[in-house]
Amino acid sequence: MEIRAERALLPDGWAERVRVTLEGDRIVAVAPDDAPGPRVACLLPGMANLHSHAFQRGFSGLTEARGPGTDSFWTWREMMYRFARSLTPDEAEAIAAMAYAEMLESGYTHVGEFHYLHHAPDGGPYDDPAEMSARIFAAAAATGIALTHLPVFYAHGGFGGAAVGAGQRRFLHDINGFARLVERCDALRRPGDVVGIAPHSLRAVTTAELRQLAQDHAGRPVHIHVAEQHREVEDCLAFSGRRPVELLFDTVAPGPDWCLIHATHLVPSEITALAGSGAVAGLCPITEANLGDGLFAAPAFLAAGGAFGIGTDSNVEIALAGELRLLEYGARLSGRVRNALALAEGSTGEALFRQALAGGARALGAAAAGIAPGAVADLVALADPLDLSVTGPQMLDRWVFGQDLRVETVWSRGRPVVSEGRHIARDAIVRDFSRAVAAVLERQG
Ligand code: NGQ
Ligand code: ZN
């Protein structure tokens, strides 16, 4: 199969008027092409979404009403737990399929699913202890998105091994039970899928457990939530005398196979340590704004050579260009400058896209994404209804900051899964999703 493009973002620059030839799930050739005929306006490699909790798509927009006191991340978390409490495997699968279809429609072709809804509502295991993970694999397979499954280890309700609350009982494992889950997940992989691990946070995992997990599962991508909220920083200081990222580095020395989700609240020494470690900062700007987390110090982190990728996290809004835009706008608003994250002179959109592409692939344990012979054919075609003849970098700037461009076609492993901006199975996915969400809301009362 051939894709003809007006412009394509290649690993080392832009190509104008090219033909990309696919065979099976791979790109086999990238060649100049001047023949007349239709072309896509702009061809991009598919992006990694390095952090998702798919089930949270089910209550998108439904936690935005003010309660009796001051609302916060922690009051949101109670509402999230309420939704999670009774979710069935069928419902979880239907909601994940919706989220994954929308990710593909947005330009993501690979998702890191940080998965902790493991057990039945009473906390007991399902007959198949990997039942809920299997539903995530099924939703990924049905929609065509590549999956890095990140089963979560969760054991405590707060720092120092504090007791868990009722809302957390579906999440829990001991070290051995968790190892069995990881093994089962390996057996559920399709070609190209990856299984990593995710110690949930320094709140839910003790330092001893963290060391054990890193040792038992060496070689897999490791993701952890860290330093997202001020209260977490304060609790960590009270418990250990160290800040969360400090404590993490003292405990396990994260390297390039690690992804620190959020890492919002860092002091300069932590910025330097994280940037120099090769670990990826997993930034989720839309969710971080929605939850009132605070602003990641992106300019200082990038200046120190740090790597980042982007994630849709709570899936309150699934918007690839929107995540990159908000990341840049946070830096503009706090620094009172423009084009804050471009690293060098030139397109901010392209700089953001390339950095997130490289950091995201590393965090998900995937080969570097790119339009080149031998690479997996995960591709995104943008349409430009205005048909402006601008440069490739300007195309990315218009996509990230303007409103004219839209995702038209997405190929996952050589197969078109989004056509004319819609996932090919959208109607059935929406029907099952609506039914599932209605059932959960009905039970919630
Ligand atoms: C999560 N989400 O695991 O879904 C978390 C909330 C927690 C974000 N941190 C739960 N955005 O951190 O305890
Ligand atoms: Zn998260």
3-state SS, residue 428: helix
Distance between alpha carbon 389 and the CA centroid of its chain, in Å?
32
Q: Mean pLDDT in runs of 10 for the chain (445 residues)?
A: 98 97 98 95 98 99 97 98 97 99 98 98 96 98 98 97 96 98 97 97 98 98 98 98 98 98 98 98 99 98 98 98 98 98 97 98 93 98 96 98 98 98 98 98 93
**CA–CA separation, 214 vs 199, rounded Å?**
9
For position 445, what pLDDT does the model report?
83
Alpha carbons 266 and 264: distance in angstroms, whole number: 6
**pLDDT at residue number 368:** 81
437 burial level (CB within 10 Å; 0-12, 13-18, 19+) = buried
The residue whose two tokens read 């195309």 is 395
Tell me how far apart the alpha carbons of residues 236 and 339 are, in angstroms, rounded to a whole number.
35
The tens digit of pLDDT for each residue in 347-384 reads: 999 999 999 999 999 999 998 879 999 999 999 999 99
Ligand 1 proximity of 193 Cβ (cutoff 6 Å):
no
Which ligand sits nearest to residue 171's alpha carbon?
1
Give the pLDDT confidence score for residue 151 in this predicted structure. 98
pLDDT in the model for residue 369: 78
**Residue nearest (by alpha carbon) to ligand 1 atom 10:** 77
Token digits of residue 403: 């409103």
Q: Is the CB of 7 under 6 A from ligand 1?
A: no
The bridge status of strand 108-115 relative to strand 146-153 is: parallel
Identify the CA nearest to 100 among candidates 71, 143, 162: 143
Quote the pTM value.
0.98
With a CB cutoff of 8 Å and minimum separation 6, the contacts of 71 are none
- Chain-centre distance of CA 306, in angstroms? 18
Strand, helix or coil for residue 1: coil
Taking CA atoms, 75 is separated from 69, 70, 236, in Å, by 9, 9, 20
Q: Which amino acid is at 132?
A: M
Pocket test for ligand 1, best of 56, 59, 72, 77 (most atoms within 8 A of CB): 77
Burial class (CB in 10 A: 0-12, 13-18, 19+), 338: exposed
Which stretch of DSSP H or E encloses residue 138? Answer: helix 131-143
Among candidate residues 398, 78, 48, the one with its CA nearest the CA of residue 223: 48
CB 282 within 8 A of CB 259: yes
Q: How far apart are CA 148 and CA 360, in angstroms?
A: 11
402 CA → ligand 1 middle, Å:
31
Cα 75 from Cα 67, distance rounded (Å): 9
The neighbourhood of ligand 2, an ion, using CB within 5 A, equals 313
Gap from CA of 313 to ligand 2 centroid (Å): 5
Residues contacting 424, CB < 8 A, separation 6+: 416, 417, 418
For CA atoms 140, 141, 142, 146, the dihedral sign is: positive
Query: Distance from first CA to last CA of the chain, Å, rounded?
Result: 51
3-state SS, residue 238: helix
Amino acid 62: pLDDT: 98
User: Residue 48's pLDDT is what?
Assistant: 98
